[in-house]
């Protein structure tokens, strides 16, 4: 059984708020917790489960994302004084120079003994007078929901004339942020278009109307919002991609749209559902009510972008070659060597990812174990790119998007995996550790978990933090998005290679003196200090210590300075490289000798696991009980044939 509970403040003490999507890291987000109690057990009798992280905030934060993404829309939120935290999401994470268009009623405890409904009406009247919105959203936070003031109904009855008022009823104790964003967008579009609904029996418009009217085809881009993952840049890339093929964009919404723009949605020939988490319900309603076709392929990755263009051509009855010449010319300066010979497909002519992924040494990318977790759209796309376009082995796939769980499970099944559908970051971290990946593709939370586990990570999805909202052009969709994905995913592996090289040369003063690992695990190791021949060490004096905290600050971390022998033993090498010393193995299983582990430690860590498994398989097949350095090289020779 799942009961809701309002979780407390979620500051982690690490110097920054840990999340960025939704009200996910701030005070007041409502989160469910699981219990074995019966369905009849009232929430007041159940214990509260506290959490430090959450993937999504309450649904009213989703509504706030829609309002903040648009122009001319204002949101009146009935909420207590502490719920104004959400402003920080837009000013700090999105780095916007203005507050979101939200008016809070900000009732306090002393107001509960009076007429809070009058406070709501006063706040609504002041917001309309001050901001003069073109459309008004009215809703309540999870705390205000318990008071049952019904602010939406109050606003409708205040007589604001022709001002469109959308009353939002977002169940804070059973739904979350992405659902709240989708529901708000759906209710706003439906409210604004209600007077344009075709009469019953009216023929549905054809997506080929552009041919009859002798004009260019046009589509709507639906779903991008603030606090989405690279939405601003995705819109720019897809708009350019469509323009190359002679397709105009009629409306982009919610991001950058005004209420009047939403009223022009039916003038397009089709809708492009860029982000199903936000736009799927709107696209479905437009298809049922106005007969508008929906392009459902999300163009993330080379294959998906090609499939997106194919679906567009089929729906709009485009000439398959339309715009291809222009696209080729636009990308000629960036084409790969294969494209120059005319041997590549459209994706290879437009993006560097296919050529790069084949040109890199096969032992560097092929077979890399990758764990993926995020929102459904980006997680499914990442799994497809990793397995089919980069040659990675996907060892874990999951999402916190319960509304799209079916799609994630289907993608996982194709890879022979069981999807992880959860909003518990600790369960994700445990699954990540058990999968033993060489790369993690996840959210801001997985970045922290991977850092603790010492695994390279790239962020592919919300929730995100400020460093994942770059000032530069950095899309995920289209041809340029494929380039960005390649760079973003391969970079952590290259940093891993750097870590290995630092480990190999860690005794050189150039590497030891002041070097800090990019993984951030602790302070830099102190440089070895040889003992003076003239002044032998005095055991009674105890070991010398040195503070290693940044800037000399006390950090409780000290490094013991000891003399290093000129030649390390095999056992010392094993310990220095963080490998387990040889010990008893399960009966019938080969075990590693100290010199075998020492040789294994010299192999770069990003292929070390594969070498270990291959060597153990080699030894097991030949009945070798003890794996030493010679066995390791015999296995290498065997697998190199």
The rounded radius of gyration (Å) of the Cα atoms in the chain is 29
Backbone phi, psi, residue 612, to 5°: -60, -45
More confident residue, 334 or 624: 624
Tell me the pLDDT tens digit for each residue of 122-132: 999 999 999 99
Among 395-399, 500-504, 568-572, the range of highest mean pLDDT = 395-399
Smallest CA-to-CA distance from 230 within 566, 534, 527, 461 is with 461
pLDDT at 568 over 70: no
Question: Band of the pLDDT at 206, cuts 50, 70, 90?
Answer: confident
pLDDT at 559 over 50: no
Smallest CA-to-CA distance from 515 within 384, 324, 523, 116 is with 523
Query: 247 exposed, middle or buried (CB, 10 Å; 0-12, 13-18, 19+)?
Result: buried
More confident residue, 331 or 116: 116
Distance CA 160, CA 155 (A): 8
Element (DSSP H or E) covering residue 616: helix 605-621
Average pLDDT of 76-105?
83
More confident residue, 325 or 375: 375
Tell me the pLDDT tens digit for each residue of 342-391: 334 566 667 777 777 776 554 567 788 999 999 999 999 999 999 999 88
Tell me the pLDDT tens digit for each residue of 468-485: 888 889 999 999 999 999
More confident residue, 10 or 411: 411
Average pLDDT of 188-210?
91
Average pLDDT of 441-456?
92
- Looking at residue 502, what is its pLDDT? 55
pLDDT at 571 over 70: no
Question: Band of the pLDDT at 394, cuts 50, 70, 90?
Answer: very high
More confident residue, 137 or 636: 137
- Looking at residue 605, what is its pLDDT? 63
Question: Band of the pLDDT at 37, cuts 50, 70, 90?
Answer: very low
- Looking at residue 142, what is its pLDDT? 80
- Looking at residue 543, what is its pLDDT? 41
Cβ distance 398 to 379 under 8 Å? yes
Can you list the domains of the chain with their CATH numbers?
A: 2-179 (3.40.50.1980), 209-322 (3.40.50.1980), 360-500 (3.40.50.1980), 570-639 (1.10.8.550)
- Looking at residue 17, what is its pLDDT? 33
Q: Would the CA dihedral through 142, 69, 231, 207 be positive or negative? A: positive
Distances (CA, A) of 274 to 249, 255, 386: 13, 12, 20
- Looking at residue 166, what is its pLDDT? 95
pLDDT at 452 over 50: yes
Residue 83 annotated as catalytic: no
The single residue of 361, 508, 521, 576 carrying the catalytic annotation is 361
When the pLDDT of each residue in the chain is averaged and rounded to a whole number, the result is 77
153 token code pair: 């109904």
β-bridge pairing 218-222 and 270-273: parallel
Tell me the pLDDT tens digit for each residue of 268-312: 999 999 999 999 999 999 999 999 999 999 999 999 999 999 999
β-bridge pairing 393-399 and 270-273: unpaired
- DSSP letters, 311-324, are HHHHHHT--TTTTH
Cβ distance 358 to 302 under 8 Å? no
Average pLDDT of 440-465?
92
Distance CA 622, CA 616 (A): 10
């Amino acid at each position: 059984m799942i009961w809701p509970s309002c979780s407390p403040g979620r500051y982690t003490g690490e110097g920054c708020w840990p999340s960025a999507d939704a009200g996910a890291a701030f005070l007041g987000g409502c989160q469910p917790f699981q219990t074995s109690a019966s369905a009849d057990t009232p929430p007041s009798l159940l214990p509260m489960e506290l959490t430090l992280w959450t993937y999504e905030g309450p649904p009213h934060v989703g509504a706030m994302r829609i309002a903040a993404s648009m122009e001319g829309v204002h949101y009146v939120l009935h909420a207590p004084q502490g719920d104004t935290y959400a402003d920080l999401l837009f000013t700090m994470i999105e780095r916007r120079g203005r507050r979101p268009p939200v008016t809070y009623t900000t009732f306090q405890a002393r107001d509960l003994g009076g007429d809070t409904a009058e406070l709501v009406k006063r706040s609504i009247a002041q917001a309309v007078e001050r901001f003069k919105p073109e459309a008004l959203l009215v809703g309540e936070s999870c705390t205000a929901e318990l008071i049952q003031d019904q602010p939406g109904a109050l606003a409708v009855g205040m007589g604001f004339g022709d001002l469109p008022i959308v009353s939002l009823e977002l169940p804070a104790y059973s739904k979350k942020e992405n659902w709240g964003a989708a529901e708000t967008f759906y209710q706003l579009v439906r409210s604004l278009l209600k007077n344009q609904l075709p009469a019953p029996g009216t023929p549905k418009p054809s997506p080929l109307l552009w041919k009859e009217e002798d004009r260019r085809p046009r589509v709507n881009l639906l779903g991008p919002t603030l606090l989405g993952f690279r939405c601003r840049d995705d819109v720019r890339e897809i708009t350019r991609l469509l323009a190359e093929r002679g397709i105009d964009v009629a409306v982009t919404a919610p991001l950058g749209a005004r209420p009047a723009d939403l009223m022009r949605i039916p003038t397009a020939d089709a809708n492009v559902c860029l982000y199903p988490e936000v736009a799927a319900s709107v696209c479905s309603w437009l298809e049922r009510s106005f007969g508008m076709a929906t392009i459902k392929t999300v163009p993330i990755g080379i294959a998906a972008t090609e499939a997106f263009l194919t679906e567009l051509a089929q729906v709009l009855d485009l000439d398959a070659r339309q715009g291809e010449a222009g696209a080729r010319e636009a990308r000629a300066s960036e084409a790969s060597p294969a494209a120059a010979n005319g041997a590549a497909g459209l994706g290879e002519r437009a993006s560097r990812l296919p050529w790069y992924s084949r040109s890199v040494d096969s032992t560097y990318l092929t077979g890399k174990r990758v764990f993926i977790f995020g929102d459904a759209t980006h997680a499914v796309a990442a799994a497809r790119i990793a397995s089919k376009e980069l040659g990675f082995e996907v060892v874990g796939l999951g999402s916190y998007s319960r509304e799209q769980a079916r799609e994630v499970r289907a993608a996982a099944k194709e890879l022979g995996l069981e999807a992880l559908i959860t909003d518990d970051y600790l369960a994700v971290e445990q699954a990540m550790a058990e999968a033993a990946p060489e790369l993690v593709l996840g959210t801001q939370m997985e970045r922290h978990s991977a850092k603790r586990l010492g695994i390279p990570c790239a962020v592919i999805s919300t929730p995100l933090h400020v460093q994942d909202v770059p000032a530069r052009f950095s899309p995920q969709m289209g041809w340029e998005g494929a380039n960005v994905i390649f760079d973003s995913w391969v970079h952590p592996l290259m940093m891993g290679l750097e870590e290995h090289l630092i480990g190999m040369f860690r005794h050189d003063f150039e590497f030891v003196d002041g070097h800090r690992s990019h993984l951030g695990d602790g302070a830099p190791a102190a440089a070895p200090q040889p003992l003076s021949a003239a002044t032998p060490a005095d055991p009674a004096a105890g070991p010398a210590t040195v503070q290693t905290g940044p800037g000399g600050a006390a950090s409780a971390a000290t490094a013991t300075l000891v003399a290093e022998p000129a030649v390390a033993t095999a056992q010392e090498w094993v310990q220095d490289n963080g490998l387990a010393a040889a010990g008893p193995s399960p009966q019938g299983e080969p075990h590693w000798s100290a010199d075998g582990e020492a040789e294994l430690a010299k192999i770069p860590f990003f292929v070390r696991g594969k070498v270990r498994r291959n060597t153990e398989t080699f030894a097991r097949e030949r009945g070798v009980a003890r794996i030493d350095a010679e066995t390791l090289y015999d296995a290498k020779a065997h697998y190199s044939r």
